[in-house]
């Protein structure tokens, strides 16, 4: 699959998730075979004002190529100028966020609010494509709400203005992440445009990936919440779709080893104080569905050092040696997560 002049090794993509897809997590997903890694979304205005908090979001490592850097904003001039200013950074694709549903973003006319403004989308994409040489992609939703389902219209607009690909999340802004993603809107977009279409929404298993490709004809799939605490998802998708191999869930030992590696990377990247605190949510995602996970989620919130985390995981491993069990309640993949971090 090609996006502009960039050929991907495979069409299985890690979605941009603020507070999740930082450098350490992207590297882990790359190790598991992800064909494209999307960075956390970055405010074009924050770049303009040289907000110090954006510096860490711009970190890119050669081992993770190819990488997609995602900007959000609503001013075509600011977006295109800032994209041009950072174009020398080693990302391979520049993506525009038109799907974020968070109120503070939507209130500013950014993210999924752009789904209500086709004329502004026209200006943003046309000016951006003219400003930089790297491929430009756009991530959209089904529509803003059930009365405004316009993903097909938006996809045609971004294609006409030079976008190299479009990613479609099969939910409206009003849905957030509730209910089921409408994969038929992805199929309709695929039938309406010639640029690559990336399907997004409810990819939690290799079987989901296979069904989405079969039902929509999309050129690539993008995994988001299904990859939280599960970087193995990309290995699982590749082996299932290309070799017919269906892996079992990682063992408890594999899980704890991965969490410790993730924590070590976080600490090297952000320091122990911030790194350990950010690992708390990752530990909750990693352990979801395993025996003792409810107790683990409570305990990890008290952890303040790598050594304390290492001991906690060792205790949990010993406690949970019986294997994977269903815990007190089913895993809720529709649980909302805060993406306020990094949005200024």
Contact partners, residue 167, CB within 8 Å, separation at least 6: 13, 15, 95, 99, 137, 138, 139, 140, 197, 198, 199, 200, 222
Look at the block and give the residue holding tokens 């949970």: 320
Locate the domains of the chain by residue range. Answer: 2-243, 252-319
Indicate if the pLDDT at residue 249 is higher than 80: yes
**How many beta carbons lie within 10 A of that of residue 190, not counting itself?**
22
Closest CA to 34 of 8, 2, 1, 4: 8
What was the pLDDT predicted at 334?
Answer: 41
Residue 74 three-state SS: coil
Cα angle 86, 4, 13; round to 5: 80
Q: Domain 2-243 is of which CATH architecture?
A: Alpha-Beta Barrel (3.20)
Q: Is 29 a catalytic residue?
A: no
- Mean pLDDT to the nearest integer, 304-323: 85
List % helix, strand, coil for the chain (3-state, nearest 5): 45, 15, 40
Say how far apart CA 160 and CA 238 lie, in whole Å: 32
Instruction: Say how many residues make up the chain.
Output: 344
Tens of pLDDT along 254-277? 999 999 999 999 999 999 999 999
Average pLDDT of the chain, as a whole number: 92
Residues 53, 55, 58, 63: is their CA dihedral positive or negative?
A: negative
Lowest mean pLDDT among 23-27, 91-95, 163-167, 319-323: 319-323
Tens of pLDDT along 188-211? 999 999 999 999 999 999 999 999
Between 341 and 141, the more confident residue is 141
Residues 4, 38, 55, 80: is their CA dihedral positive or negative?
A: positive
CB 45 within 8 A of CB 78: yes
Closest CA to 34 of 244, 282, 238, 249: 238
Say how far apart CA 178 and CA 171 lie, in whole Å: 8
What was the pLDDT predicted at 322?
Answer: 52
What was the pLDDT predicted at 267?
Answer: 96
What was the pLDDT predicted at 337?
Answer: 28
CATH, domain range 252-319: 1.10.1200.80
The H helix count followed by the E strand count for the chain is: 13, 11
What was the pLDDT predicted at 321?
Answer: 67
What was the pLDDT predicted at 318?
Answer: 84
Say how far apart CA 198 and CA 308 lie, in whole Å: 41
Query: pLDDT category, 319, cuts 50, 70, 90?
Result: confident
What does pTM read for this prediction?
0.91
Query: pLDDT category, 53, cuts 50, 70, 90?
Result: confident
Look at the block and give the residue holding tokens 């882990």: 28
Residue 138 Ramachandran class (φ > 0 left, ψ -120 to 50 alpha, else beta): beta
Indicate if the pLDDT at residue 312 is higher than 70: yes
CB 148 within 8 A of CB 174: no
Say how far apart CA 13 and CA 239 lie, in whole Å: 15
What whole-number percentage of the chain has pLDDT above 70?
93
Say how far apart CA 184 and CA 215 lie, in whole Å: 8
Residue 20 three-state SS: coil
State CA 238 to chain mean position distance: 18
Indicate if the pLDDT at residue 324 is higher than 70: no
Indicate which residue of 29, 38, 100, 218 is catalytic. Answer: 100
CB 90 within 8 A of CB 58: no
């Amino acid at each position: 699959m090609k996006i502009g002049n960039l050929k991907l090794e495979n069409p299985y993509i890690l979605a941009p998730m603020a507070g999740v897809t930082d450098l350490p997590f992207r590297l882990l997903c790359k190790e598991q075979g992800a064909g494209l890694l999307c960075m956390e979304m970055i405010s074009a205005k924050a770049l303009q004002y040289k907000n110090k908090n954006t510096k860490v979001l711009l970190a890119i490592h050669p081992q993770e190529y190819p990488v997609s850097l995602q900007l959000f904003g609503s001013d075509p001039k600011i977006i295109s100028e800032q994209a041009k200013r950072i174009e020398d950074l080693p990302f391979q694709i520049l993506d525009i966020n038109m799907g974020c549903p968070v109120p503070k973003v939507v209130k500013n006319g950014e993210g999924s609010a752009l789904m209500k403004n086709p004329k502004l989308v026209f200006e943003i994409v046309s000016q951006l494509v003219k400003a930089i040489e790297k491929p430009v992609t756009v991530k959209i939703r089904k529509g803003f709400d059930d009365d405004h389902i316009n993903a097909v219209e938006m996809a045609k607009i971004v294609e006409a203005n030079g976008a190299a690909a479009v990613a479609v999340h099969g939910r409206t802004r009003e849905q957030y992440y509730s209910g089921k993603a409408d994969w038929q809107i992805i199929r309709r977009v695929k039938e309406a445009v010639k640029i690559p279409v990336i399907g997004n929404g409810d990819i939690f298993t290799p079987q989901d990936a296979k069904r989405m490709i079969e039902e929509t004809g999309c050129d690539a799939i993008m995994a988001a919440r299904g990859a939280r605490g599960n970087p193995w998802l990309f290995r699982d998708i590749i082996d299932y779709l290309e070799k017919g191999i269906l892996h079992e869930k990682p063992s408890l030992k594999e899980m704890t080893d991965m969490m410790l590696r993730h924590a070590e990377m976080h600490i090297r990247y952000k320091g122990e104080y911030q790194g350990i605190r950010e690992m708390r949510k990752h530990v909750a995602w990693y352990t979801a569905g395993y025996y003792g996970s409810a107790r683990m989620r409570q305990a990890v919130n008290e952890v303040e050092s790598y050594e304390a985390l290492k001991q906690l995981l060792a205790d949990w491993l010993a406690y949970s040696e019986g294997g994977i069990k269903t815990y007190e309640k089913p895993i809720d993949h529709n649980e909302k997560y805060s993406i306020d971090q990094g949005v200024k």
